[in-house]
Structure 1
């Protein structure tokens, strides 16, 4: 008769899953990059301007806000391509100067 007691199972564990680690360490900046912050704040500013346009029924102000949001997205992508995004050369150099975070 096999021993299926709790003590026996605790001492003789059967592995049920395999742990797969990433091949390299992921960046440690958690998205705190120049490109990310620029994109975020430009889009937030554009959303506020667009919301004011809606609240005061000023159509041109709404479209200016939408334009600022689109400009923020394009600006963020340009900064990412220039190396100021996650894993970019400028971001890695900045992390190195600041001690890794």
Structure 2
């Protein structure tokens, strides 16, 4: 049974933790960038094509879908490097023009 009396609390103060804040504020776009959306939809389309290839027993269509998934990852990375990802120059300019979100 815990001693929750006022005298006990006065003699044993509660220890609080310090809060560690990030060095800068995080981006306000929540990952809604051109690079993220392009990557997502190309990979989803590739997965759908690969699934259709599996159901239809067409090996070549399956591998086309898998290839499209990998191409989507490459395109997303290229767009991110070009500034269309989170924190990129094009994304920051777009945020500034559209009010931050």
Give the TM-score normalised by the residue count of structure 1: 0.87
Work out the CA distance in 2 between the residues paired with 1:99 and 1:79.
Answer: 22
Structure 2 counterparts to residues 1-101 of structure 1, below 5 A = 5=5, 9=9, 14-101=14-101
Work out the CA distance in 2 between the residues paired with 1:47 and 1:30.
Answer: 24
CA RMSD of aligned residues (A): 1.9
Distance 1:61 1:90, change over 3 A: same
Distance 1:15 1:40, change over 3 A: same
Aligned residues: 97
Structure 2: runs of 5 or more not aligned: none
Give the TM-score normalised by the residue count of structure 2: 0.87
Runs of 4+ residues over 4 Å off in structure 1: 6-10
